[in-house]
């Protein structure tokens, strides 16, 4: 099996979500609850990065499916992606540029902050 790249662009994430919408793909928002309240992508599941170790069991049903992680600009989501891969989630990817790139490139209705 070919290794899944660590990151994908907002454009590629939108294509994946269009072709296999949730629940086929898990869109994981690793920002804070306050950030999520300010701007969100429809269908995203909020699990703040700092809560992930305590909430890992919630992701177990998604272990074998594609997971796209996003944050504000892509740094936290990259850390979360690496952390999940270390725990055997082979199909997890970070959305480069985060929700900011999504707002700019995909859906300008999603507020930028």
Tens digits of pLDDT across the chain (113 residues): 568 999 999 999 999 999 987 788 999 999 999 999 999 999 999 999 999 999 999 999 999 999 999 999 999 999 999 999 999 999 999 999 999 999 999 999 999 99
Q: Is residue 97 part of a domain?
A: yes
Q: Is residue 65 part of a domain?
A: yes
Q: Which of 3, 12, 9 is nearest to 90 (CA)?
A: 3
Q: Is residue 112 part of a domain?
A: no
Q: Is residue 42 part of a domain?
A: yes
Q: What is the pTM of this model?
A: 0.95
Q: Is residue 17 part of a domain?
A: yes
**pLDDT on residue 1:** 55
What are the C-alpha distances in Å from 90 to residues 11, 15, 39? 21, 20, 28
Q: Is residue 1 part of a domain?
A: no
CATH of the domain at 78: 3.40.250.10
**pLDDT on residue 22:** 73
Q: Is residue 24 part of a domain?
A: yes
Q: Residue 48: which domain range?
A: 7-105
CB 63 within 8 A of CB 88: yes
**pLDDT on residue 3:** 84
The string of DSSP letters for 6-63 reads SEE-HHHHHHHHHHS-TTSEEEEE-S-HHHHHH---TTPEE--GGGHHHHHHHHGGGT
Total structural domains within the chain? 1
**pLDDT on residue 20:** 87
Q: Is residue 95 part of a domain?
A: yes
């Amino acid at each position: 099996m070919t290794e899944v790249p660590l990151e994908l662009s907002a454009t590629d994430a939108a294509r994946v979500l269009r072709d296999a919408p949730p629940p086929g793909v898990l869109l994981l928002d690793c920002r804070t609850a306050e950030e999520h309240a300010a701007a969100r992508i429809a269908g995203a599941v909020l699990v703040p990065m700092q809560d992930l170790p305590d909430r890992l069991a919630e992701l177990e049903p998604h272990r074998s499916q594609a997971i796209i992680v996003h944050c504000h600009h892509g740094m936290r989501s990259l850390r979360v992606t690496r952390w999940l891969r270390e725990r055997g989630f082979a199909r997890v990817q970070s959305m480069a540029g985060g929700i900011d790139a999504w707002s700019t490139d995909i859906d300008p209705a999603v507020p930028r902050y």
